[in-house]
Structure 1
């Protein structure tokens, strides 16, 4: 299986892009953090620590306190690929995060983004 370059990229290097994407559409950094915490089980403090430490995507998801079981309800297309059909578990987690950030930027209600 091909090892994708994104796996070794620090989450902190992509995080500002998530925030800018959300803020351009009138959403907030706090909402981006809420999505990331919901998905991974991180508290705000542990999320901040992982970002400060420069944790890469592979370790970020591998060391996540508790991946949310409701994340399997996140479906749709991101980067031209259906999230639910991605075979590689790590790539699926990354794309789920991307899809949720896209939904935030499109103005979807947080209750729907978080599948509550």
Structure 2
């Protein structure tokens, strides 16, 4: 049962992280004006978010500092929720995304997930 919980939580976290990156890329597209500048802005936003995530918030982050990791995660997920609310005009989706991100990230710091790190789970 523990393995199922840990791997399910890891999968949900990964999907949420991909959604966050996608939403922030969408913000770049819309805010730069879908034309000639929109697509490069979207790609730039995705690259910037992925770089910040890899450096500070990923499970194997380059700079693995607890407080910085928490601040970066909160900032990026909050930015994605704001984009859903203000740019996509979906307050319902923004609230659901924010609550799900909060619940999943809190679950990730509690046992059993935190004790296994989401990877090395005994059968």
Q: What TM-score comes out, normalization by structure 1 length?
A: 0.28
From the two aligned structures, give the one with the greater helix fraction: 2
Q: What TM-score comes out, normalization by structure 2 length?
A: 0.27
